[in-house]
Amino acid sequence: MNHTTFAPRLLTWFATHGRHDLPWQYHHADTSDIYAVWLSEIMLQQTQVATVLGYFGRFMDTFPTVQDLANADWDNVASLWAGLGYYARARNLHAGAKQVADYIATHGHFPQTIGEWQNVRGVGRSTAGAIVAMGVRGRGVICDGNVKRVLTRWAGIDGDITKSATDKVLWELADTLTPTHDSGKFAQAMMDLGATVCTRPRPACTSCPLSDDCTAHKNGNPTAYPVKAKKADKPHRHSLVFALMYDDKLLWIKRQSGTGTGIWDGLYALPMLMINDKQSDVPHDLHYAKTMHDKYTHAQNPSLAESQVLDNLPNIAINHPKTIKHTLTHFHWHLSLVEINIDKTLYDNINHALTAIHADFVWQKGCDGLGVPKAMGKLVG
């Protein structure tokens, strides 16, 4: 392996074959937009470029500066993020924007160092390195999933990448290979190589500028890297989702912290009740559904607002509900939609109960304009 020529080969390849037209890229310009680089790095976590493009454009149109984002109402942020998933990113981004806006108000400029960026909510080591390298234009080292795949194959690193010892080796190698100058272009080139050439299932080794001294290519086993311990199968969870309809409008409740579904905190959702781990086992009525919930050891308790709604509902029949499967980081969630048309008396009772506990709720047709989880959009779409 030739460490000395690694960066020159990669940068030569990037000049011809890399991506140069993404709206958050500034390596071809005299100045960069640190805010845009930061926003793109957060959006690109666990998400494909093609998916991010539309969201990025809408965010920049609505919140063109970090101050605009910091001053924005959370509901507006959540509405723009709806469907992108991993909603903790949006909450952290919004909180981080407030931190950065305060920093700028005090210092007159964006944070400049990796350490300063790591103090910003939701910004980890690799993201901080990317922001410094591509936004601040200092020296920043990145070691995200794409980079780890490239490095483990090139260097033949066969340690489990989920282990701290292997992670340490990879960061040290990434630091060694990152040039002092052009670390922004180098970072972008590494990410592009991993995303377009050194891909997970079908690496295009014949198109790779590093193949001449790549250990995995020489050994004919690039897909054996990176080594990662097999994860246990995800468990299944099953919840009833109640679409309460009055005057063609649905009841949406904003989920607050402590509801048991932190991934959806701050978003609007239909009331839910977790009942079991078998999607095929659907209760015949609401009374039996509550019994199933009480007996289900893995059940997440409904929020106070959901409990108020469920307590006001009569013992309705549940017949062949529409069910979707929504996969999250830690489990597969089967969501069965129970549609209920309610009368004026029940509508008034539910409104009174929710208002009494200061719940944040709204009745509206569909979910347009609300920050709702993608799964909810699927159910009512």
Catalytic residues: 41
The rounded distance, in Å, linking the Cα atoms of 7 and 128 is 21
Which among 240, 268, 303 is positioned nearest to 377, based on CA atoms? 268
Contact 89, 45 (CB under 8 A): yes
Strands annotated E in the chain: 236-246, 249-254, 268-269, 272-276, 322-327, 332-341, 361-364
The rounded distance, in Å, linking the Cα atoms of 66 and 159 is 40
Tokens of 277: 């781990």
326-330: long-range contacts (C-beta < 8 A, 24 or more apart)? 326/374, 326/375, 326/378, 327/234, 328/263, 329/263, 330/234, 330/235
In the three-class reduction of DSSP (H, G, I as helix; E, B as strand; rest coil), residue 151 is classed as helix
Tokens of 350: 């539910």
